[in-house]
Amino acid sequence: MANKHDELLKKLLATFRVEADEHLQAMASGLLALEKTPPGEGQAEIVETIFREAHSLKGAARAVNLMEIESVCQALESVFAALKGRRLAVSPPLLDLLQQAVDALGGLLAPGAGPSRSRSPAVAALMRRLDDAATGTPFVPEIPHAAETPAAALPDAPPMAAAVPPPFPAPDLAADTVRISTAKLDAVMRQAEELLSPRLAAGQRARELRETAAALAAWRKERARIQPALRLVERAYARTLKDTCSAREKQALPLLLEYLDAEPLNLKTLEDRLARLTRAAEHDWRTLSGMSDGLLHDVKEMQLLPFASLLDRFPRFARELARGQGKEVELALQGGEIEIDRRILEAMRDPLIHLLRNAIDHGIEPPAVRADRHKPARGTITLAISQQDGGKVEVLVADDGAGIDASSLRAAAGRLGLVSGEEAERLDEAAAQALAFQSGVTTSPLITDVSGRGLGLAIVREKVERLGGSVALESQPGAGTAFRIVLPLTLATFRGILVRAGEQLCVIPAARVERVTRVAGPDIQTVENRETIPLDGQAVALVWLGDVLELPRREPAEDAAGGVPAVVLGPDPGRVAFRVDAILGEQEVLVKTLGPQLARVRNVAGASVLGTGQVVPVLNVPDLLKSAVQLAATPRVPVAAEKPGAAEKPAILVVEDSITSRSLLKNILESADYAVTTAVDGMDAYTTLKTGTFDLVVSDVEMPRMDGFDLTARIRADKQLAELPVVLVTALGSREHRERGIDAGANAYIVKSSFDQSNLLDVIRRLL
C-alpha cells in the first residue's frame, strides 16, 4: 500500500512542477509589467492577474502537501489583496520584495528541494516581511536574493530524489504500448486537424463540378429544343435568297448550320467528360474524408485519458483539508472511467480544486452545526462525470452543505459596485446566484488560508469557457450547492453554424447554440427600451449580431416572408437571441488562433477556412453574451433606407445625465427639426456613437463614468469620429474649464448661466 501511495505522490509532484513553473513564470512576468506600468493605467488588471496565479498555485501546492509553497502563496495573496483594495501602494521596495518571494518559490521547486511540512527559517522570515507589507508595517526590503543562495535559503529542504519520477525503462519490443512525448502527440494532432481544410476544399470542388454539369445539361436541352426552329430558318433563307445572293453568301448559311448541327454532339462529349470528372472528384473527396476522419479519430483516441487519472488525487486532498477545519467529509467519485481529451483534463485540475475547496470551506458545516440541522455529522461531496449527447461530458460537483445565500451575494456585489441596490433587488434567484462567478464576490465574512477572497469561482468560469464549455450554479439554502460543468470531449475540430451578418460570414460553435429559429415581425416587442421575443413563455432579448460585432447594416424595409432568422445562445435564464441576415448551414470547422499579435480580440475566438478558401471568424459565445447585454441598454440610431425626394434631418446626440436638462435640450432641438438621440453619460454616448451615424454632439460636462471633457477627447482620438462637431453645454464657466474644453477639442463651449436657445441653435447651424 505504501509503494502505491509513493508512486502516486511521485506522479502528482511531477505534474505539479510543470504547473507551478507556468504559474511562477506568469507571476514574474506580471511583476515586471507592474513595475513598468504607471499608477492608474492598468495596474489593477495586472494585480488581479498575479493575484489569480498565486491563488491557483496555493491550491495546487496544498493538493500535494507542499506546505512551504502554500504558506508563501498565502502571504503573497494578502499583499495582492491589499493592493487590490488600495490599502497598499505599488512601490519599488515592495516590488523587490515580491520578486524575491517569487524567486524563493522557484527555489522551493528547484531540483534538490523537496516536500517539507515544516517551515524553514528563510521562508518564515520572508513571510514575516510579506505580512508586514500587507498590513502596512514598515519592512526591510534588502533581503538576500533567493537565486544567490538557494542552499542557505532553504536549509531544511530534504533531497528530491524520492520525488523525481524514475527514468523511462528501456522499450520492450514485445509490449503492446510505447511511450511518446506529449509534444510529438500534439504535433501529430495538429497535422491531422489540418487535413480538414483540403477535405472541405475537395468537397467544395465536387459540388462546383456537379453544378457545372447540371448547367451544361440544361444548356444542351435548350439547344435541342431550338433545333426545329433552325430547320425552318434554313428553308426560309434558301427560298428568299436563292437568286439574289452571291456564291460566298450562299455558302455562309450552310457553314453556320453545319456548326450548329455538330454542337449537340460536342456538348454531349463535354457533358460526359464533365460527368467523369465529377465522379472522380467525388470519389477523391470520399476517400480523403474517410482517411482524414479515420486518422483524426485515431489521434483523438490517443489523446483521451480516463477522468480517474485526475480524480485519484482528490480524496486525500479533501480528507486532509476537512480535518484541518474540524469537519468530516466523504468524497463520492463517479464516472471516472469516462475518457476525455488530455488537454482538457489538465486544464480542469485547478477549477476542480477550487470547487472542492469551496465546498469544504463554505459548504460543509461543522459536525455540531450539522447535528443541529438534523443532518449526518459527515458531509458528502459528489464529483460525478457523465456522458452527454453531442460529444459533451458533464462534471457535477455537489455538496449537501449550507448552500449559497442569494441575499448575501447581492450585498457583496453591491459593495463592489457591480450592481446598484435597485438592480440587485430586481435580480431573481438564478441571476443573483450567478453573481458568485464575478471576481471579488464572496459570502465569506473571513478570508482564510483556504478561500474567502472571491477569486475561485471567477477562475473556474474563465477556464471552463476558454475550453469551450459552460458552468452553471444551483443552490438551495440549507440543502446544498451543485456546480454543473459541461465540456467538449476533445479540443479538436467541432461543428459550427455558418451565419451571415450583413456582408460578413461568421461561425458560431454549434455546442453553444441553444436553438435556431425564425422570428415573425409582430413577435418582436419592446420591453424597457429593449427588443425582445417570446421564447418558452419568457421574454428573451433580441439583438443584431452585426451590431454586436460593430458591422455596418441597413434596416430592412420589411421583414422577410416567414420571419427573420435568429440564433439563440446562452443558458437559461441568460439567453440572448441574435438576429442574423441568413443561416447558411452547419459544418465541421477547425479553429485557427489569431496569432500573438491578436491574442485576445473581443467577440472572436479564432478563425476558420471554408471549403471555398474564404477565411471567416469563429465567434466567442461568452463574449457575445456580455457584449449583447451592454448593447441592449444602448439606444441605436438605425440607418434607414433612403427614400427618393425625402431629405434626411441632421442627427444630433444629446449627452446629459440630468433628465430635466436632457428633456429640455431634446425638445428645443426637435422643434428646430433635428433628429435627436439621447445618452445618459459619456460612456453611453461613446457606445451610441460607435453604433449609429450623427452629425453633431451636444454634451454636458459633469457626468458619471465619463465626463464631457473625456468624451470629447475620446471622439477626437477616434479616426471615424475625429471630425464630428462637439458642443459643450455646462454650468462650469471658469476660464480654466473653458480652456480645458478647447484643449479637449470642443468646437463650442456654452455656459448654462447665460444659456439662450437661439444662441445654441445659431452655433449648431454654423457647425452643420
Q: Which of 196, 47, 185, 68 is nearest to 122 (CA)?
A: 68
Q: Do 663 and 719 sit in the same domain of this protein?
A: yes
Q: Are 57 and 2 a contacting pair, CB within 8 Å?
A: no
What pLDDT digit, counting tens, does each position of 328-359 carry? Answer: 888 888 988 888 888 888 888 888 988 998 88
Taking the C-alpha atoms of residue 145 and residue 149, their distance in angstroms, rounded to an integer, is: 7
pTM of the model: 0.51
Coil vs helix vs strand at 586: strand
| 657 secondary structure, DSSP code | S
Q: Which domain holds residue 6?
A: 2-163
* pLDDT value of position 696: 93
What pLDDT digit, counting tens, does each position of 190-202 carry? Answer: 777 777 778 878 8
| Domain-embedded: residue 128 | yes
Element (H, E) at 387: strand 379-388
Grid cell 436553438 is found at 515
* pLDDT value of position 599: 61
* pLDDT value of position 154: 33
**DSSP β-bridge partners for residue 652:** 676, 696
Q: Do 447 and 522 sit in the same domain of this protein?
A: no
| Domain-embedded: residue 178 | no
| Domain-embedded: residue 247 | yes
> How crowded is the C-beta side of 756, counted as CA atoms within 13 Å?
5
Q: Do 240 and 321 sit in the same domain of this protein?
A: no
Q: Do 133 and 240 sit in the same domain of this protein?
A: no
Q: Is the peptide bond before 167 cis (omega within 30 degrees of 0)?
A: no
* pLDDT value of position 697: 93
Grid cell 460526359 is found at 272
* pLDDT value of position 21: 83
* pLDDT value of position 137: 67
| Domain-embedded: residue 644 | no
Domain count for the chain: 5
Q: Which of 448, 392, 372, 349 is nearest to 11 (CA)?
A: 349
Which grid coordinates belong to 52?
A: 489569480
CATH at residue 333: 3.30.565.10
Which of 146, 163, 180 is the last residue in one of the domains? 163
Q: Do 277 and 246 sit in the same domain of this protein?
A: yes
CA 147 to chain centre: 38
- Provide the residue type at 682 as one letter: G
* Residues with pLDDT less than 50, the chain: 1, 141-175, 445-450, 452-453, 557-558, 635-646
| Domain-embedded: residue 436 | no
Coil vs helix vs strand at 498: strand
* pLDDT value of position 59: 81
Q: Which of 540, 602, 553, 611 is nearest to 582 (CA)?
A: 553
Q: Do 208 and 342 sit in the same domain of this protein?
A: no
Taking the C-alpha atoms of residue 613 and residue 616, their distance in angstroms, rounded to an integer, is: 9
What sign results for the dihedral spanned by CA atoms 281, 283, 286, 288? negative
To 5 degrees, how large is the angle CA 442–CA 444–CA 445? 120
* pLDDT value of position 586: 83
- Enumerate residues 6+ apart whose C-beta is below 8 A from 208: none
Which grid coordinates belong to 394?
A: 458533464
Q: For residue 576, what are the CA distances in angstroms to 156, 210, 567?
A: 57, 39, 8
Q: Do 457 and 574 sit in the same domain of this protein?
A: no
Q: Do 480 and 331 sit in the same domain of this protein?
A: yes
